[in-house]
């Protein structure tokens, strides 16, 4: 049976807590901390699990924090292939101020990925049996990662007829697009950099997305528009899909939840218009929860029915 593989080059353990109020120079009494596994691809795997779809999460893992990350994924019954690294996996910190309903997010620097560790990740992916149907590379690129890593991965996917889905940024994203991938999920800023078109409204989003499609570098482009939903383009089809109106409590994990929803629908063989609606439903459902918590399945299904 074919499966789904997610790749996270910059994983993290998210530690969150709440306080009654935040004051300088005071000892603040925090709630018991909540630890959750994080990082783009890892969150996609976690989102898929909420939709009752199994995947395999591949990621670098180092030190005590890396072991905690593995333990947290094991507790969520996520299949994993950790690549042991010399440097300790990073940890992020999130504090919710109850008094004014504000959320403070402290992101620690990404951990350097050594060349030998990058080679081991690529080698591990090449050896996966059976070959996956979909591969998702999501999240930021860490220091030390080569700009052509995802391009190398794209070549592997083409050789093995794997549909590669990419949600990252920077030079690595540009190289991946030039190599050719199945689905690209940029935001407006990333789309501008890729095409040289100033993306500022729906018309320019459409022009930029179609430019990528017309060059034959991607089969599907899904542009995240935040509260305005998403724009989807493929050869012969394009549509702007608005986001549902929900009470937002946190945007943490919304983008990864959107990717999880789309991969779930793609794996089920849904039409592209419903694939993106499911993605928007999962992303919007994630914003309904406080802190780093992802979406709830019931919320996502309810929003999807409304979007249909």
Quick count: other Cβ atoms within 10 Å of Cβ 274?
16
State the Cα–Cα distance between residues 275 and 259, nearest whole angstrom. 10
State the Cα–Cα distance between residues 295 and 308, nearest whole angstrom. 19
Strands 237-241 and 230-234 come out as antiparallel
Q: What is the pLDDT, as a whole number, of residue 254?
A: 86
Backbone angles phi, psi at 209, to 5 degrees: -65, -45
Is 267 known to be catalytic? no
Q: Which of 21, 96, 22 lies closest to 250 in space, CA to CA?
A: 96
State the Cα–Cα distance between residues 258 and 9, nearest whole angstrom. 19
> Band of the pLDDT at 292, cuts 50, 70, 90?
low
Residue 1 has pLDDT above 50, yes or no: no
Where do the domains of the chain lie, and which CATH numbers do they carry?
A: 4-307 (3.40.1190.20)
What letter would DSSP give residue 187?
B
Residue 117 has pLDDT above 90, yes or no: yes
Q: Tokens 């929803």: give the residue.
A: 261
> Band of the pLDDT at 256, cuts 50, 70, 90?
very high
User: CA-CA distances (angstroms) from residue 287 to 18, 89, 123, 146, 185?
Assistant: 18, 26, 36, 33, 19
Express each pLDDT in 31-90 by its tens digit. 999 999 999 999 999 999 999 999 999 999 999 999 999 999 999 999 999 999 999 999
Average pLDDT over residues 267-278: 96
Catalytic residue among 167, 256, 267, 299: 256
Q: What is the pLDDT, as a whole number, of residue 37?
A: 95
Question: Residue 282 has which token pair?
Answer: 């999962």
Residue 115 has pLDDT above 70, yes or no: yes
Express each pLDDT in 182-194 by its tens digit. 999 998 999 999 9
State the Cα–Cα distance between residues 307 and 294, nearest whole angstrom. 20
pTM over 0.75: yes
3-state helix, strand, coil in the chain (%, to 5): 40, 25, 35
């Amino acid at each position: 049976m074919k499966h789904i593989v997610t790749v996270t080059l910059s994983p993290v353990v998210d530690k969150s807590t709440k306080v009654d109020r935040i004051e300088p120079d005071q000892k603040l009494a925090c709630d018991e901390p909540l630890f959750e596994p994080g990082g783009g691809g890892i969150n996609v795997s976690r989102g898929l699990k909420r939709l009752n779809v199994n995947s395999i999460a591949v990621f670098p893992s180092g030190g005590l924090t890396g072991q905690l990350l593995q333990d947290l994924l094991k507790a969520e019954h996520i299949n994993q292939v950790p690549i042991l690294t010399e440097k300790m996996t990073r940890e992020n910190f999130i504090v919710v101020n109850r008094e004014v309903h504000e959320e403070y997010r402290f992101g620690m620097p990404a951990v350097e990925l050594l060349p030998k560790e990058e080679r081991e990740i690529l080698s591990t992916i090449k050896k996966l049996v059976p070959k996956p149907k979909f591969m998702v590379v999501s999240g930021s690129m860490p220091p030390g990662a080569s700009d052509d890593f995802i391009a190398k991965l794209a070549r592997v996917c083409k050789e093995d007829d794997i549909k590669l889905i990419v949600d990252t940024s920077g030079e690595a994203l540009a190289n991946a697009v030039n190599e050719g991938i199945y689905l690209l999920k940029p935001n407006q800023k990333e789309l501008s950099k890729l095409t040289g078109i100033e993306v500022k409204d729906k018309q320019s989003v459409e022009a930029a997305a179609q430019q990528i499609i017309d060059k034959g570098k991607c089969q599907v482009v899904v542009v995240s528009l935040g509260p305005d939903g998403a724009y989807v383009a493929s050869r012969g089809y394009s549509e702007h899909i608005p986001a549902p109106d929900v009470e937002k409590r946190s945007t943490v994990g919304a983008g990864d939840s959107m990717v999880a929803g789309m991969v779930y629908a793609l794996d089920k063989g849904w039409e592209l218009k419903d694939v993106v609606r499911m993605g928007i439903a999962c992303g919007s459902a994630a914003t309904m929860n406080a802190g780093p918590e992802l979406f709830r399945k019931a919320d996502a299904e309810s929003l999807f029915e409304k979007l249909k």
